[in-house]
Structure formats: structure tokens, C-alpha cells
């Protein structure tokens, strides 16, 4: 009897593993779905960064930086409109999307800054404005603090990186050990449930969007890279760097953001030399995907005014 139940248990376990086993997608399939025809690749520090560069080459440059677990496609709706008047450059950041894992397995704050700086240098860009969301917002203000002479305007969308004093030194993206299983098991349903809190209105999270996030999380090595970034990212004191930023800055938040509360805008505004804050009602964390036009209207107005003034 014991052997019978043991055998049955093994069969059930095998069935569960078979049902939920989630291997990486092939690079060729991802390329077919997302890379063609406009994706470009540039080597930076041994990493092949995948990016899109659209709009007039002589226009002011906008660099768009996505958030944790995302990819450059988060900007699709915005880029379609912004690149009528700007040169829009958006990339899959190290550890995400088609760029994939860092060969050096280094996802530190210092390495992110070095990679972005080298990326911009290799493209021959002297001046630019930067738009960053969440984790990408932190990268955006870190870049603006270090490369202030180049940054003409800065848009921080629910930016990460301004912890409470007691949280300095903690790991904001660290995950429980059990989450290591996501390297092997990642049902689409789990991706949907993880995205829902990023929306005020979950009905805006359509199947196409869930499919894209699921695909990008199954890009070769990305799940392992996300876990590594989670372990390596440590909150540091942002104030000394934020005080170095001189570019006009737009702080924009979905007022119902459950990932990074909109009240954090006050912390940034109290330190930045030149900032304005816009809170958008009935929007969550992924405002560029939940109701793209609402945030884009605010960003466009800000850029038009700021870059005109800077001329």
C-alpha cells in the first residue's frame, strides 16, 4: 500500500512539474516577435544592448529607461508620438528583455551608471533629456547627477531610490528564496497576478500586455538576472546626488500607485533644485501603459517648455 501511494505521489508531482515547467524562450523566437525590423544592437562592456532609435536624427534626444521586470516595449505608445518631434532612444536595460544577463553578473548602481554613460557615449550623444520609470527613474536621476552638463530635462515617473532613513542599506528588490523557483516555473497566470497591483484599473491589463511581459521574462537568462539584481541592489542615501541635479525635473505619478506611493514625490521635490509635480488621479504604477495618453500629455508639455527655455 505504501509503495502504491508513493508511486501515485511521484506521478502527481511529475504531472505538476510537466504542467508548470516554464523553460526560456529561444532567442530566435523572441527576435522574430520583438526585434524586427527596427531593433539595433550595440556592444557595451561585453554586453550586447538591444535598443530602438527612432525619430529625426537632428532632433533633441530623449533617452527612455524602463522599470524593474520590464523592457523597452513599455514605451511603445509614447514613442509612436514622441518620435515625431524627438529622437527617441529606448533600450532593454542590463538583465532584462533581449539585452539579457550581464556577462560580469554585475547589477550594482555603479555598473548601471557606467553602462548608461558608455551607451550614450558610443551613440555620440552630447546632450539629451532622460525619462525614467520606477527602477529606470532611479537610473535616470543617478545619470543626471553624474552627467549634469549633458542632461537638459529630466522626467521621473514614480522613481525608485528615495528610501526612508531606516531603509538605507536594505535590498528593495530582494526576493524570498522560494522565488528562485521562478527560474523553472512561471505560469502566465502568475505574471498576470504580479502585474495587477501596478494598475488602478486591472481591466486595462489586457492579454496582449500580459503575453509580452511573460515573453520577456522568459528571455534567455533573464529570470536569473532579475534574482541577481534583487540581491545586489542596495538602498543608498539619494540626497547628496539629487542636490547635484540642475536640469528642470518633472515628477509624475499615478495617484493610486501601490508599488511606489505618490507621497514620495514630496521627498524628491524637497531636495531637487528645479522640479514640478503632477499626480494623475485613478492611475497606478504603470501609467504609461494603463492610460498612455494622460501621462504623455503632461510629459510633452513639460519637455516643450523646458527644452524651449534651455535653448
Average pLDDT over residues 146-160: 97
CB-based contacts of 75, cutoff 8 Å, min separation 6: 64, 66, 88, 90, 288
User: 98 falls in which pLDDT band (50, 70, 90)?
Assistant: very high
Chain segment 62-82, per-residue pLDDT in tens: 999 999 999 999 999 999 999
Q: Is pLDDT of 177 > 80? A: no
User: 2 falls in which pLDDT band (50, 70, 90)?
Assistant: low
Average pLDDT over residues 33-42: 90
Q: Is pLDDT of 18 > 90? A: no
Q: Is pLDDT of 6 > 90? A: no
Q: What is the pLDDT of residue 60?
A: 97
Average pLDDT over residues 133-156: 97
Q: Cα dist. 221→79, 105, 184, 192, 227 in Å?
A: 27, 11, 11, 20, 10
| 275, β-bridge pairs | 249
User: 8 falls in which pLDDT band (50, 70, 90)?
Assistant: very low
User: 179 falls in which pLDDT band (50, 70, 90)?
Assistant: confident
Is 238 within 8 Å of 145 (Cβ atoms)?
no
Is 235 within 8 Å of 167 (Cβ atoms)?
yes
Q: What is the pLDDT of residue 140?
A: 98
Q: Considering the chain, what percentage of its residues have pLDDT values greater than 90? A: 85
| 87, β-bridge pairs | 61
Tell which residue, 226, 186, 193, has the closest CA to residue 25.
186
Helices (H), the chain: 2-20, 27-30, 76-82, 109-122, 135-146, 188-195, 207-217, 222-232, 239-242, 264-269, 287-290, 292-310
Cα 136 to Cα 72: distance, rounded to the nearest angstrom: 11
Cell of 304: 516643450
Query: Domain-by-domain residue ranges, the chain?
Result: 25-310
If you classify domain 25-310 with CATH, what class do you get?
A: alpha beta
| pTM beyond cutoff 0.85 | yes
Q: What is the pLDDT of residue 38?
A: 85
Amino acid at each position: 500500500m505504501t509503495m502504491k501511494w508513493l508511486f501515485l505521489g511521484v506521478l502527481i508531482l511529475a504531472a505538476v512539474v510537466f504542467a508548470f515547467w516554464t523553460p526560456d524562450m529561444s532567442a530566435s523566437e523572441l527576435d522574430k516577435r520583438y526585434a524586427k525590423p527596427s531593433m539595433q544592437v550595440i556592444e557595451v562592456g561585453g554586453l550586447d544592448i538591444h535598443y530602438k532609435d527612432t525619430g529625426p536624427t537632428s532632433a533633441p534626444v530623449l533617452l527612455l529607461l524602463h522599470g524593474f521586470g520590464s523592457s523597452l516595449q513599455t514605451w511603445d505608445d509614447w514613442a509612436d508620438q514622441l518620435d515625431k518631434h524627438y529622437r527617441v532612444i529606448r533600450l532593454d536595460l542590463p538583465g532584462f528583455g533581449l539585452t539579457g544577463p550581464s556577462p560580469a553578473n554585475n547589477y550594482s548602481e555603479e555598473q548601471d551608471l557606467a553602462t548608461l554613460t558608455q551607451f550614450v557615449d558610443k551613440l555620440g550623444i552630447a546632450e539629451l533629456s532622460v525619462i525614467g520609470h520606477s527602477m529606470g527613474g532611479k537610473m535616470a536621476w543617478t545619470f543626471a547627477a553624474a552627467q549634469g552638463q549633458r542632461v537638459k530635462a529630466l522626467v521621473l515617473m514614480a522613481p525608485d531610490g528615495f528610501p526612508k532613513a531606516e531603509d538605507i542599506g536594505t535590498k528593495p528588490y530582494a526576493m524570498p528564496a522560494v522565488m528562485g523557483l521562478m527560474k523553472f516555473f512561471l505560469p502566465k497566470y502568475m505574471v498576470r497576478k504580479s502585474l495587477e497591483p501596478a494598475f488602478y484599473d486591472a481591466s486595462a491589463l489586457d492579454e496582449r500586455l500580459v503575453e509580452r511581459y511573460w515573453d520577456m521574462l522568459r528571455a534567455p537568462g533573464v529570470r536569473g538576472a532579475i534574482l541577481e539584481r534583487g540581491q545586489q541592489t542596495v538602498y543608498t542615501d539619494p540626497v547628496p546626488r539629487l542636490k547635484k541635479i540642475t536640469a528642470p525635473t518633472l515628477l509624475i505619478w499615478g495617484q493610486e500607485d501601490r508599488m511606489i506611493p505618490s507621497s514620495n514625490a514630496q521627498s524628491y521635490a524637497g531636495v531637487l533644485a528645479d522640479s514640478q509635480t503632477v499626480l494623475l488621479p485613478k492611475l497606478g504604477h504603470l501609467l504609461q501603459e494603463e492610460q498612455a495618453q494622460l501621462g504623455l500629455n503632461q510629459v510633452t508639455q513639460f519637455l516643450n517648455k523646458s527644452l524651449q527655455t534651455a535653448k
